[in-house]
Chains A and B, each alone.
Chain A
Amino acid sequence: MNKDELLRELALKISTGEINREEVTRSLGGSAAADLGEPATPAPHIGLTKWFYWLGGIIAIVGIILFVGQFWDDLGSAARIIVTLGFGLILAATGSMLLKQKPNQMIGSIFHTLGGLLIPGGTMVLLYELDVDLSTLWPITISFGLIFVFYLALAAAHKRPILTFFAVANGTTFVYLLIESLIEGRAYEHENLYAYLTMIVGITYLLLAQQFSRGWNKQLAGLFNFFGSAGFLAAAGSRIPDSVPWQLIYVLFVLAMLFWSIRAKSRGILAVSTIALLAYIGFITQEYFVDSIGWPIALIILGFVFIGLGYASINISKKYIQAAN
Protein backbone atom coordinates (compact mmCIF):
# COMPACT_ATOMS: atom_id res chain seq x y z
CA MET A 1 0.00 0.00 0.00
CA ASN A 2 1.59 3.31 -1.08
CA LYS A 3 1.25 6.62 0.74
CA ASP A 4 -1.79 7.84 -1.25
CA GLU A 5 -3.66 4.60 -0.73
CA LEU A 6 -2.80 4.61 2.96
CA LEU A 7 -4.06 8.18 3.40
CA ARG A 8 -7.23 7.46 1.38
CA GLU A 9 -7.90 4.41 3.53
CA LEU A 10 -7.35 6.44 6.69
CA ALA A 11 -9.68 9.20 5.45
CA LEU A 12 -12.35 6.61 4.69
CA LYS A 13 -12.10 5.04 8.14
CA ILE A 14 -12.34 8.46 9.79
CA SER A 15 -15.29 9.53 7.63
CA THR A 16 -17.22 6.34 8.40
CA GLY A 17 -16.53 6.67 12.12
CA GLU A 18 -14.62 3.39 12.36
CA ILE A 19 -11.78 5.31 14.01
CA ASN A 20 -11.63 8.93 15.06
CA ARG A 21 -8.98 11.61 14.81
CA GLU A 22 -8.14 11.41 18.49
CA GLU A 23 -7.37 7.70 18.22
CA VAL A 24 -5.11 8.31 15.22
CA THR A 25 -3.30 11.10 17.00
CA ARG A 26 -2.98 9.12 20.22
CA SER A 27 -1.34 6.31 18.30
CA LEU A 28 1.12 8.85 16.86
CA GLY A 29 1.72 10.33 20.31
CA GLY A 30 0.40 13.88 19.96
CA SER A 31 -2.68 16.07 20.37
CA ALA A 32 -5.43 15.66 17.82
CA ALA A 33 -5.90 19.22 16.75
CA ALA A 34 -2.26 20.15 16.60
CA ASP A 35 -0.91 17.09 14.85
CA LEU A 36 -3.57 16.88 12.19
CA GLY A 37 -3.44 20.60 11.64
CA GLU A 38 -7.19 20.99 11.97
CA PRO A 39 -9.46 22.50 14.58
CA ALA A 40 -10.68 20.01 17.19
CA THR A 41 -14.32 20.78 16.41
CA PRO A 42 -15.66 20.37 12.89
CA ALA A 43 -16.05 23.56 10.91
CA PRO A 44 -19.65 24.75 10.70
CA HIS A 45 -19.72 24.84 6.91
CA ILE A 46 -19.29 21.04 6.72
CA GLY A 47 -22.53 20.53 8.64
CA LEU A 48 -24.27 23.07 6.41
CA THR A 49 -23.04 21.26 3.29
CA LYS A 50 -24.42 18.01 4.62
CA TRP A 51 -27.79 19.67 5.23
CA PHE A 52 -27.84 20.98 1.68
CA TYR A 53 -27.05 17.51 0.40
CA TRP A 54 -29.94 16.02 2.34
CA LEU A 55 -32.33 18.85 1.52
CA GLY A 56 -31.41 18.55 -2.19
CA GLY A 57 -31.96 14.81 -2.03
CA ILE A 58 -35.42 15.15 -0.46
CA ILE A 59 -36.45 17.84 -2.94
CA ALA A 60 -35.18 15.69 -5.83
CA ILE A 61 -37.13 12.62 -4.71
CA VAL A 62 -40.34 14.63 -4.20
CA GLY A 63 -39.82 16.15 -7.64
CA ILE A 64 -39.32 12.72 -9.20
CA ILE A 65 -42.49 11.37 -7.57
CA LEU A 66 -44.56 14.37 -8.69
CA PHE A 67 -43.10 14.29 -12.20
CA VAL A 68 -43.65 10.58 -12.70
CA GLY A 69 -47.09 10.84 -11.09
CA GLN A 70 -48.19 13.30 -13.77
CA PHE A 71 -47.52 10.80 -16.55
CA TRP A 72 -48.08 7.52 -14.68
CA ASP A 73 -51.32 6.60 -16.45
CA ASP A 74 -49.77 7.25 -19.86
CA LEU A 75 -46.68 5.15 -19.22
CA GLY A 76 -46.40 1.59 -20.46
CA SER A 77 -45.26 -1.29 -18.27
CA ALA A 78 -41.61 -1.07 -19.32
CA ALA A 79 -41.49 2.68 -18.72
CA ARG A 80 -43.07 2.30 -15.28
CA ILE A 81 -40.49 -0.29 -14.30
CA ILE A 82 -37.64 1.85 -15.67
CA VAL A 83 -38.67 5.05 -13.85
CA THR A 84 -39.05 3.25 -10.52
CA LEU A 85 -36.87 0.17 -10.12
CA GLY A 86 -34.55 1.02 -13.01
CA PHE A 87 -33.97 4.54 -11.75
CA GLY A 88 -33.49 3.24 -8.20
CA LEU A 89 -30.84 0.79 -9.35
CA ILE A 90 -29.08 3.49 -11.39
CA LEU A 91 -29.02 5.77 -8.32
CA ALA A 92 -27.65 2.92 -6.20
CA ALA A 93 -24.98 2.12 -8.81
CA THR A 94 -24.02 5.81 -9.02
CA GLY A 95 -23.89 5.94 -5.23
CA SER A 96 -21.52 2.96 -5.16
CA MET A 97 -19.28 4.54 -7.79
CA LEU A 98 -19.16 7.81 -5.88
CA LEU A 99 -18.38 6.01 -2.63
CA LYS A 100 -15.42 4.38 -4.37
CA GLN A 101 -14.20 7.57 -6.01
CA LYS A 102 -14.96 10.07 -3.23
CA PRO A 103 -14.97 7.96 -0.09
CA ASN A 104 -14.77 10.89 2.32
CA GLN A 105 -17.73 12.79 0.84
CA MET A 106 -21.42 12.43 1.58
CA ILE A 107 -22.59 12.50 -2.03
CA GLY A 108 -22.40 8.72 -2.50
CA SER A 109 -24.56 8.14 0.56
CA ILE A 110 -27.12 10.66 -0.73
CA PHE A 111 -27.44 8.75 -4.01
CA HIS A 112 -27.81 5.52 -2.08
CA THR A 113 -30.55 7.10 0.06
CA LEU A 114 -32.53 8.04 -3.03
CA GLY A 115 -31.97 4.60 -4.52
CA GLY A 116 -32.96 2.89 -1.29
CA LEU A 117 -36.24 4.78 -1.21
CA LEU A 118 -37.07 3.88 -4.81
CA ILE A 119 -35.99 0.24 -5.02
CA PRO A 120 -38.62 -1.40 -2.74
CA GLY A 121 -41.49 0.46 -4.42
CA GLY A 122 -39.94 -0.19 -7.82
CA THR A 123 -39.84 -3.90 -7.07
CA MET A 124 -43.57 -3.84 -6.26
CA VAL A 125 -44.18 -2.07 -9.59
CA LEU A 126 -42.14 -4.79 -11.31
CA LEU A 127 -44.23 -7.56 -9.73
CA TYR A 128 -47.46 -5.78 -10.63
CA GLU A 129 -46.47 -5.02 -14.21
CA LEU A 130 -45.21 -8.58 -14.78
CA ASP A 131 -48.65 -9.74 -13.69
CA VAL A 132 -47.22 -11.90 -10.92
CA ASP A 133 -49.91 -13.69 -8.92
CA LEU A 134 -50.27 -11.52 -5.82
CA SER A 135 -53.09 -13.51 -4.24
CA THR A 136 -50.48 -14.68 -1.73
CA LEU A 137 -47.73 -12.61 -0.15
CA TRP A 138 -44.93 -14.95 -1.22
CA PRO A 139 -43.74 -12.96 -4.29
CA ILE A 140 -43.55 -9.77 -2.21
CA THR A 141 -41.83 -11.63 0.63
CA ILE A 142 -39.20 -13.11 -1.68
CA SER A 143 -38.64 -9.68 -3.27
CA PHE A 144 -37.96 -8.06 0.10
CA GLY A 145 -35.67 -10.98 0.97
CA LEU A 146 -33.64 -10.27 -2.16
CA ILE A 147 -33.54 -6.52 -1.44
CA PHE A 148 -32.34 -7.34 2.09
CA VAL A 149 -29.50 -9.51 0.71
CA PHE A 150 -28.68 -6.80 -1.87
CA TYR A 151 -28.28 -4.13 0.83
CA LEU A 152 -26.46 -6.50 3.16
CA ALA A 153 -23.90 -7.09 0.40
CA LEU A 154 -23.65 -3.34 -0.33
CA ALA A 155 -23.20 -2.55 3.38
CA ALA A 156 -20.46 -5.17 3.67
CA ALA A 157 -18.73 -3.78 0.56
CA HIS A 158 -18.94 -0.05 1.33
CA LYS A 159 -19.23 0.00 5.13
CA ARG A 160 -21.66 2.93 5.18
CA PRO A 161 -24.39 3.43 7.82
CA ILE A 162 -27.05 4.33 5.25
CA LEU A 163 -26.60 0.94 3.57
CA THR A 164 -26.80 -0.84 6.93
CA PHE A 165 -29.99 1.11 7.61
CA PHE A 166 -31.60 -0.06 4.37
CA ALA A 167 -30.40 -3.63 4.99
CA VAL A 168 -32.04 -3.68 8.43
CA ALA A 169 -35.20 -1.90 7.26
CA ASN A 170 -35.72 -4.30 4.34
CA GLY A 171 -34.68 -7.24 6.52
CA THR A 172 -37.31 -6.30 9.11
CA THR A 173 -39.99 -5.99 6.43
CA PHE A 174 -38.90 -9.37 5.07
CA VAL A 175 -39.24 -11.05 8.48
CA TYR A 176 -42.79 -9.71 9.01
CA LEU A 177 -43.81 -10.65 5.47
CA LEU A 178 -42.29 -14.11 5.86
CA ILE A 179 -44.27 -14.77 9.03
CA GLU A 180 -47.46 -13.47 7.39
CA SER A 181 -46.82 -15.66 4.32
CA LEU A 182 -46.26 -18.71 6.49
CA ILE A 183 -49.40 -18.29 8.59
CA GLU A 184 -51.67 -16.77 5.93
CA GLY A 185 -55.09 -18.42 6.10
CA ARG A 186 -54.13 -20.60 9.04
CA ALA A 187 -55.77 -20.62 12.44
CA TYR A 188 -53.20 -18.43 14.17
CA GLU A 189 -53.76 -15.56 16.54
CA HIS A 190 -52.09 -12.99 14.31
CA GLU A 191 -52.10 -10.25 16.92
CA ASN A 192 -50.30 -12.41 19.50
CA LEU A 193 -47.77 -13.63 16.99
CA TYR A 194 -46.94 -10.13 15.78
CA ALA A 195 -46.64 -8.88 19.35
CA TYR A 196 -44.04 -11.56 20.14
CA LEU A 197 -42.29 -10.99 16.82
CA THR A 198 -42.10 -7.24 17.51
CA MET A 199 -40.55 -7.97 20.91
CA ILE A 200 -37.94 -10.15 19.19
CA VAL A 201 -37.28 -7.45 16.59
CA GLY A 202 -36.98 -4.88 19.39
CA ILE A 203 -34.34 -6.97 21.17
CA THR A 204 -32.57 -7.49 17.83
CA TYR A 205 -32.42 -3.73 17.29
CA LEU A 206 -31.05 -3.17 20.80
CA LEU A 207 -28.33 -5.77 20.21
CA LEU A 208 -27.51 -4.23 16.83
CA ALA A 209 -27.29 -0.81 18.48
CA GLN A 210 -24.87 -2.20 21.03
CA GLN A 211 -22.74 -3.73 18.27
CA PHE A 212 -22.94 -0.56 16.19
CA SER A 213 -21.88 1.67 19.08
CA ARG A 214 -18.22 0.80 18.50
CA GLY A 215 -17.80 0.70 14.74
CA TRP A 216 -18.54 2.35 11.41
CA ASN A 217 -22.31 2.17 12.08
CA LYS A 218 -21.97 4.32 15.19
CA GLN A 219 -24.43 6.89 13.81
CA LEU A 220 -27.19 4.25 13.75
CA ALA A 221 -26.83 3.23 17.41
CA GLY A 222 -29.16 5.97 18.73
CA LEU A 223 -31.80 5.24 16.11
CA PHE A 224 -31.83 1.49 16.78
CA ASN A 225 -31.80 2.02 20.55
CA PHE A 226 -34.90 4.21 20.22
CA PHE A 227 -36.84 1.95 17.84
CA GLY A 228 -35.69 -1.22 19.60
CA SER A 229 -36.87 -0.10 23.03
CA ALA A 230 -40.07 1.42 21.62
CA GLY A 231 -40.91 -1.74 19.65
CA PHE A 232 -40.20 -4.05 22.57
CA LEU A 233 -42.04 -2.07 25.22
CA ALA A 234 -45.01 -1.25 22.97
CA ALA A 235 -45.42 -4.88 21.93
CA ALA A 236 -45.03 -6.14 25.50
CA GLY A 237 -47.44 -3.42 26.67
CA SER A 238 -50.07 -4.66 24.22
CA ARG A 239 -50.22 -7.93 26.25
CA ILE A 240 -51.06 -6.15 29.51
CA PRO A 241 -54.82 -5.49 29.29
CA ASP A 242 -55.83 -9.16 29.15
CA SER A 243 -53.15 -10.79 31.28
CA VAL A 244 -52.28 -10.42 34.98
CA PRO A 245 -48.89 -12.22 34.58
CA TRP A 246 -47.96 -9.70 31.90
CA GLN A 247 -49.04 -6.85 34.21
CA LEU A 248 -46.57 -8.17 36.78
CA ILE A 249 -43.72 -8.88 34.41
CA TYR A 250 -44.04 -5.71 32.33
CA VAL A 251 -42.77 -3.45 35.10
CA LEU A 252 -39.63 -5.61 35.28
CA PHE A 253 -39.12 -5.13 31.54
CA VAL A 254 -39.44 -1.36 31.94
CA LEU A 255 -36.98 -1.29 34.85
CA ALA A 256 -34.56 -3.48 32.89
CA MET A 257 -34.85 -1.06 29.97
CA LEU A 258 -34.16 1.91 32.28
CA PHE A 259 -31.06 0.11 33.51
CA TRP A 260 -30.07 -0.64 29.91
CA SER A 261 -30.44 3.05 29.00
CA ILE A 262 -27.70 3.87 31.53
CA ARG A 263 -25.49 1.01 30.40
CA ALA A 264 -25.96 1.85 26.71
CA LYS A 265 -25.82 5.57 27.49
CA SER A 266 -28.92 6.12 25.42
CA ARG A 267 -31.32 8.99 25.96
CA GLY A 268 -33.67 7.39 23.42
CA ILE A 269 -34.12 4.29 25.57
CA LEU A 270 -34.45 6.45 28.69
CA ALA A 271 -37.22 8.54 27.12
CA VAL A 272 -39.10 5.48 25.83
CA SER A 273 -38.77 3.66 29.17
CA THR A 274 -40.01 6.69 31.10
CA ILE A 275 -43.04 7.04 28.81
CA ALA A 276 -43.71 3.29 29.15
CA LEU A 277 -43.50 3.52 32.94
CA LEU A 278 -45.90 6.51 32.98
CA ALA A 279 -48.35 4.61 30.75
CA TYR A 280 -48.03 1.50 32.92
CA ILE A 281 -48.69 3.40 36.16
CA GLY A 282 -51.63 5.16 34.50
CA PHE A 283 -53.09 1.83 33.37
CA ILE A 284 -52.64 0.11 36.75
CA THR A 285 -54.19 3.09 38.56
CA GLN A 286 -57.18 3.11 36.24
CA GLU A 287 -57.58 -0.66 36.43
CA TYR A 288 -57.23 -1.26 40.17
CA PHE A 289 -57.33 1.96 42.20
CA VAL A 290 -59.83 4.33 40.59
CA ASP A 291 -62.84 2.49 42.02
CA SER A 292 -61.47 2.65 45.56
CA ILE A 293 -59.91 6.11 45.72
CA GLY A 294 -61.86 7.86 42.94
CA TRP A 295 -60.61 9.70 39.84
CA PRO A 296 -59.79 13.09 41.46
CA ILE A 297 -57.46 11.58 44.09
CA ALA A 298 -56.01 9.19 41.50
CA LEU A 299 -55.24 12.13 39.18
CA ILE A 300 -53.52 14.06 41.98
CA ILE A 301 -51.36 11.05 42.86
CA LEU A 302 -50.65 10.33 39.18
CA GLY A 303 -49.66 13.94 38.60
CA PHE A 304 -47.08 13.86 41.39
CA VAL A 305 -45.81 10.44 40.30
CA PHE A 306 -45.38 11.74 36.75
CA ILE A 307 -43.49 14.80 37.99
CA GLY A 308 -41.26 12.57 40.12
CA LEU A 309 -40.54 10.20 37.25
CA GLY A 310 -39.83 13.08 34.89
CA TYR A 311 -37.41 14.57 37.43
CA ALA A 312 -35.71 11.20 38.00
CA SER A 313 -35.43 10.66 34.25
CA ILE A 314 -33.78 14.05 33.69
CA ASN A 315 -31.38 13.39 36.54
CA ILE A 316 -30.45 9.96 35.19
CA SER A 317 -29.84 11.53 31.80
CA LYS A 318 -27.61 14.29 33.28
CA LYS A 319 -25.72 12.08 35.69
CA TYR A 320 -25.15 8.90 33.71
CA ILE A 321 -25.75 9.61 30.03
CA GLN A 322 -24.82 13.20 29.18
CA ALA A 323 -21.80 13.06 31.48
CA ALA A 324 -20.60 9.86 29.84
CA ASN A 325 -21.15 11.22 26.32
Chain B
Amino acid sequence: MISFLKRNILLMVAFGLPVVFIAGVVLSIYLPGVSTAYDFVYASCNKSYGYYDDVCSRYLNNAHVVENGKLVNKPIDPTQDINRNKIPDANEFTARFFRHDTAKNESREITLGETQMLNFNQLLTSPDGVTISSHSSYNSGFFPLFDGRSSYGRSLVKGRRSTRLNLINGVDRYYDPSDFHFVGWVLPGRN
Protein backbone atom coordinates (compact mmCIF):
# COMPACT_ATOMS: atom_id res chain seq x y z
CA MET B 1 0.00 0.00 0.00
CA ILE B 2 2.73 2.45 0.99
CA SER B 3 4.77 1.60 -2.08
CA PHE B 4 1.65 2.07 -4.26
CA LEU B 5 1.12 5.51 -2.72
CA LYS B 6 4.77 6.40 -3.23
CA ARG B 7 4.68 5.33 -6.87
CA ASN B 8 1.47 7.21 -7.60
CA ILE B 9 1.80 10.27 -5.41
CA LEU B 10 2.11 12.62 -8.42
CA LEU B 11 -0.96 11.09 -10.00
CA MET B 12 -2.96 11.60 -6.82
CA VAL B 13 -1.84 15.21 -6.43
CA ALA B 14 -2.59 15.80 -10.13
CA PHE B 15 -6.16 14.54 -9.76
CA GLY B 16 -6.52 16.09 -6.31
CA LEU B 17 -5.81 19.68 -7.38
CA PRO B 18 -8.89 20.12 -9.61
CA VAL B 19 -11.00 18.29 -7.02
CA VAL B 20 -9.89 20.76 -4.32
CA PHE B 21 -10.64 23.68 -6.67
CA ILE B 22 -14.12 22.35 -7.41
CA ALA B 23 -14.72 21.76 -3.69
CA GLY B 24 -13.74 25.39 -3.04
CA VAL B 25 -16.23 26.64 -5.64
CA VAL B 26 -18.98 24.40 -4.21
CA LEU B 27 -18.23 25.66 -0.70
CA SER B 28 -18.35 29.27 -1.83
CA ILE B 29 -21.77 28.62 -3.38
CA TYR B 30 -23.35 26.77 -0.50
CA LEU B 31 -21.86 28.68 2.41
CA PRO B 32 -24.41 31.05 3.91
CA GLY B 33 -24.63 34.14 1.70
CA VAL B 34 -25.82 37.65 2.37
CA SER B 35 -29.06 37.89 4.28
CA THR B 36 -31.21 40.77 5.43
CA ALA B 37 -34.16 41.07 7.77
CA TYR B 38 -35.93 43.39 5.32
CA ASP B 39 -38.05 42.59 2.29
CA PHE B 40 -38.05 44.96 -0.64
CA VAL B 41 -40.44 46.00 -3.37
CA TYR B 42 -39.54 46.45 -7.00
CA ALA B 43 -41.49 47.43 -10.05
CA SER B 44 -41.38 46.30 -13.61
CA CYS B 45 -43.24 47.33 -16.73
CA ASN B 46 -45.73 45.23 -18.61
CA LYS B 47 -43.58 45.81 -21.66
CA SER B 48 -39.86 45.96 -22.37
CA TYR B 49 -37.88 46.87 -25.44
CA GLY B 50 -34.99 44.63 -24.52
CA TYR B 51 -31.42 45.48 -25.31
CA TYR B 52 -30.14 48.39 -23.23
CA ASP B 53 -33.60 49.87 -23.12
CA ASP B 54 -34.21 52.27 -20.27
CA VAL B 55 -37.62 53.57 -21.43
CA CYS B 56 -39.47 51.59 -18.78
CA SER B 57 -37.06 52.69 -16.08
CA ARG B 58 -37.51 56.33 -17.04
CA TYR B 59 -41.29 55.94 -17.09
CA LEU B 60 -41.31 54.29 -13.63
CA ASN B 61 -39.03 57.00 -12.23
CA ASN B 62 -41.50 59.64 -13.35
CA ALA B 63 -44.70 57.85 -12.43
CA HIS B 64 -44.01 56.25 -9.02
CA VAL B 65 -41.92 57.94 -6.35
CA VAL B 66 -41.33 57.20 -2.66
CA GLU B 67 -42.00 60.31 -0.57
CA ASN B 68 -41.95 60.32 3.23
CA GLY B 69 -41.79 56.52 3.23
CA LYS B 70 -44.89 56.02 1.05
CA LEU B 71 -45.27 55.23 -2.65
CA VAL B 72 -46.87 58.16 -4.41
CA ASN B 73 -48.32 58.18 -7.91
CA LYS B 74 -47.16 61.23 -9.81
CA PRO B 75 -49.33 62.48 -12.61
CA ILE B 76 -47.48 62.26 -15.88
CA ASP B 77 -48.07 64.36 -18.95
CA PRO B 78 -50.63 62.41 -21.03
CA THR B 79 -48.71 63.39 -24.18
CA GLN B 80 -45.32 62.24 -22.82
CA ASP B 81 -43.70 59.79 -25.23
CA ILE B 82 -40.18 58.98 -24.03
CA ASN B 83 -39.34 56.55 -26.79
CA ARG B 84 -41.06 58.66 -29.47
CA ASN B 85 -43.02 55.78 -30.90
CA LYS B 86 -46.16 57.93 -31.12
CA ILE B 87 -47.86 55.97 -28.31
CA PRO B 88 -48.20 58.08 -25.14
CA ASP B 89 -46.37 56.45 -22.22
CA ALA B 90 -49.54 56.54 -20.12
CA ASN B 91 -51.21 54.27 -22.68
CA GLU B 92 -48.14 52.15 -23.36
CA PHE B 93 -46.82 51.19 -19.93
CA THR B 94 -48.40 49.73 -16.83
CA ALA B 95 -46.32 49.28 -13.69
CA ARG B 96 -46.25 45.86 -11.99
CA PHE B 97 -45.15 45.68 -8.36
CA PHE B 98 -43.44 42.74 -6.66
CA ARG B 99 -42.61 42.15 -3.01
CA HIS B 100 -39.47 40.08 -2.60
CA ASP B 101 -39.30 37.89 0.49
CA THR B 102 -35.57 37.94 1.25
CA ALA B 103 -35.86 35.06 3.75
CA LYS B 104 -37.21 32.70 1.06
CA ASN B 105 -35.58 34.49 -1.89
CA GLU B 106 -38.87 34.56 -3.80
CA SER B 107 -41.03 37.30 -5.26
CA ARG B 108 -44.81 37.74 -5.31
CA GLU B 109 -46.78 40.29 -7.29
CA ILE B 110 -48.78 42.77 -5.21
CA THR B 111 -51.30 45.37 -6.27
CA LEU B 112 -50.64 49.08 -6.44
CA GLY B 113 -52.99 49.50 -3.46
CA GLU B 114 -51.01 47.00 -1.36
CA THR B 115 -47.77 48.73 -2.33
CA GLN B 116 -49.12 52.09 -1.27
CA MET B 117 -49.99 50.71 2.18
CA LEU B 118 -46.37 49.72 2.87
CA ASN B 119 -43.75 51.87 4.60
CA PHE B 120 -40.43 52.21 2.82
CA ASN B 121 -36.90 53.09 3.79
CA GLN B 122 -35.79 56.04 1.64
CA LEU B 123 -32.32 54.62 1.05
CA LEU B 124 -30.87 52.16 -1.43
CA THR B 125 -29.18 50.34 1.47
CA SER B 126 -31.33 48.45 3.97
CA PRO B 127 -31.11 49.35 7.66
CA ASP B 128 -28.87 46.28 8.18
CA GLY B 129 -26.45 47.37 5.48
CA VAL B 130 -27.45 45.32 2.44
CA THR B 131 -27.70 46.80 -1.05
CA ILE B 132 -29.06 45.41 -4.30
CA SER B 133 -26.56 45.41 -7.10
CA SER B 134 -26.65 44.20 -10.66
CA HIS B 135 -24.23 41.54 -11.83
CA SER B 136 -23.41 40.06 -15.14
CA SER B 137 -21.99 36.67 -15.83
CA TYR B 138 -20.39 36.09 -19.15
CA ASN B 139 -18.71 33.02 -20.49
CA SER B 140 -16.21 34.65 -22.79
CA GLY B 141 -16.19 31.82 -25.25
CA PHE B 142 -13.91 29.39 -23.46
CA PHE B 143 -15.96 26.57 -24.92
CA PRO B 144 -16.31 26.93 -28.66
CA LEU B 145 -19.71 25.23 -28.55
CA PHE B 146 -21.18 27.54 -25.95
CA ASP B 147 -19.67 30.81 -27.01
CA GLY B 148 -20.97 33.97 -25.47
CA ARG B 149 -23.52 32.66 -22.98
CA SER B 150 -24.20 35.67 -20.88
CA SER B 151 -26.81 36.62 -18.37
CA TYR B 152 -27.54 39.53 -16.11
CA GLY B 153 -29.14 39.50 -12.73
CA ARG B 154 -29.26 41.19 -9.37
CA SER B 155 -27.75 40.24 -6.06
CA LEU B 156 -27.88 41.20 -2.43
CA VAL B 157 -24.46 42.65 -1.69
CA LYS B 158 -22.71 43.34 1.58
CA GLY B 159 -18.99 44.03 1.42
CA ARG B 160 -17.41 41.46 -0.90
CA ARG B 161 -20.13 38.86 -0.36
CA SER B 162 -23.16 38.52 -2.59
CA THR B 163 -26.21 36.30 -3.00
CA ARG B 164 -28.15 36.01 -6.23
CA LEU B 165 -31.76 37.13 -6.16
CA ASN B 166 -34.48 35.11 -7.83
CA LEU B 167 -36.52 37.95 -9.25
CA ILE B 168 -39.55 37.75 -11.49
CA ASN B 169 -38.96 38.96 -15.01
CA GLY B 170 -35.45 40.08 -14.35
CA VAL B 171 -32.93 37.31 -13.94
CA ASP B 172 -30.92 35.26 -16.38
CA ARG B 173 -31.97 37.25 -19.35
CA TYR B 174 -29.61 37.56 -22.20
CA TYR B 175 -29.84 41.31 -21.99
CA ASP B 176 -29.78 43.88 -19.22
CA PRO B 177 -33.10 43.80 -17.37
CA SER B 178 -33.26 47.58 -17.21
CA ASP B 179 -36.99 47.53 -16.44
CA PHE B 180 -36.12 46.53 -12.86
CA HIS B 181 -37.07 49.52 -10.76
CA PHE B 182 -36.19 49.41 -7.08
CA VAL B 183 -38.98 50.95 -5.00
CA GLY B 184 -37.60 50.54 -1.49
CA TRP B 185 -36.92 48.38 1.57
CA VAL B 186 -40.06 47.51 3.48
CA LEU B 187 -40.22 48.71 7.11
CA PRO B 188 -40.34 47.26 9.66
CA GLY B 189 -38.06 44.28 9.24
CA ARG B 190 -38.75 40.74 10.40
CA ASN B 191 -36.92 41.15 13.70
B is bound to A: yes
Interface membership of A188, Cβ < 8 A: yes
Q: Check A211 for interface membership: any CB of B closer than 8 A.
A: yes
A194 near B142 with CB under 8 A, answer yes
Contact flags (1/0) for B125-148 with A, using CB distance below 8 Å? Answer: 000000000010111101101100
Q: Min CB distance, B140 to chain A, in Å?
A: 6
Q: Which of B1-59 contact A (CB under 8 A)?
A: 8, 10-11, 13-15, 17-18, 21-22, 25-26, 29
> What's the minimum C-beta distance from B170 to chain A, rounded to whole angstroms?
12
Please indicate the chain A residues that have their CB under 8 angstroms from the CB of B149 in the complex: 184
Interface residues of A in 160-214 (CB under 8 A from B): 175-180, 182-188, 190-191, 193-194, 196-197, 200-201, 203-205, 207-208, 210-211
List chain B residues, Cβ under 8 A from A299.
none
Give the distance in Å from the alpha carbon of A124 to the alpha carbon of B17 in the complex.
28
Shortest Cβ distance from residue A237 to the other chain B in the assembled complex, whole angstroms: 16
Q: Is the CB of A182 within 8 A of B25?
A: yes
* Docked-complex contact A179 and B25, CB < 8 angstroms: yes
Contacts of A305 in B (CB 8 A): none
CB distance from A131 to the nearest CB of B (A): 18
In the assembled complex, A137 has its CB within 8 A of some CB on chain B: yes
Chain A's closest residue to B163 (CB) is: A187
Q: Across the two chains, which residue of chain A brings its CB closest to B145?
A: A124
Which residue in chain B gives the minimum CB-CB distance to A137?
B146
Contact at A204–B18, with CB atoms within 8 Å?
Answer: yes
Give the residue among A178, A184, A187 with the most B Cβ atoms within 10 A.
A187
Cα(A190)–Cα(B151), bound, Å: 12
Verify if B172 is at the interface (C-beta below 8 Å from A).
Answer: yes
Please pick, from A137, A188, A211, the residue contacting B14 in the complex, using a CB distance under 8 A: A211
When C-beta atoms are compared, the residue in chain A nearest to B18 turns out to be: A175
Q: Is the CB of A182 within 8 A of B10?
A: no
One of A179, A187, A190, A205 near B155 (C-beta < 8 A): A187
Among A137, A185, A200, A203, the most chain B Cβ lie within 10 Å of the Cβ of A185
Query: What chain B residues lie within 8 Å of A176 (beta carbons)?
Result: 142-143
Q: Smallest distance from the beta carbon of A45 to chain B beta carbons, Å?
A: 36
Q: Are B11 and A193 in contact (CB under 8 A)?
A: no
CA gap between A125 and B145 in the complex, in Å:
13
Neighbouring A residues of B142 by C-beta, 8 Å: 176, 180, 194
B139:A207 contact, CB within 8 angstroms: no
Q: Is the CB of A204 within 8 A of B143?
A: no
**Residues of B contacting A178 in the complex (Cβ-Cβ under 8 angstroms):** 22
Write the B163-188 contact mask toward A (1 if CB under 8 angstroms, else 0): 01000000110000000000000000
CB proximity of A229 to chain B, nearest CB, Å:
14
Contact status A187-B21, CB under 8 Å: no
Bound-complex Cα distance A175 to B20 (A):
11
A187-B164 in contact (CB<8A): yes
Cβ contact within 8 Å between A190 and B140? yes
Chain B residues with Cβ below 8 Å from A207 are 10-11, 13-14, 17
Residues on B with C-beta less than 8 A from A211 are: 8, 10-11, 14
Chain B residue nearest in CB terms to A211: B10
Q: A183-B29, A204-B17 are in contact. Are A175 and B10 (CB under 8 A)?
A: no
CB within 8 Å of A: which residues of B? 8, 10-11, 13-15, 17-18, 21-22, 25-26, 29, 135, 137-140, 142-143, 145-146, 149, 151, 153, 155, 162, 164, 171-172
For this complex, 20 residue pairs linking A to B, each with C-beta atoms less than 8 Å apart, are: A124-B145, A175-B18, A177-B143, A182-B26, A182-B29, A185-B171, A186-B137, A187-B135, A187-B155, A187-B164, A190-B138, A194-B142, A197-B18, A200-B21, A201-B18, A204-B17, A204-B18, A205-B14, A208-B10, A210-B10
Kindly list 10 other residue pairs between chains A and B, CB separation below 8 angstroms, not including A187-B153, A197-B18, A200-B18: A137-B146, A177-B143, A183-B137, A185-B164, A187-B164, A191-B140, A205-B14, A207-B13, A208-B11, A211-B11
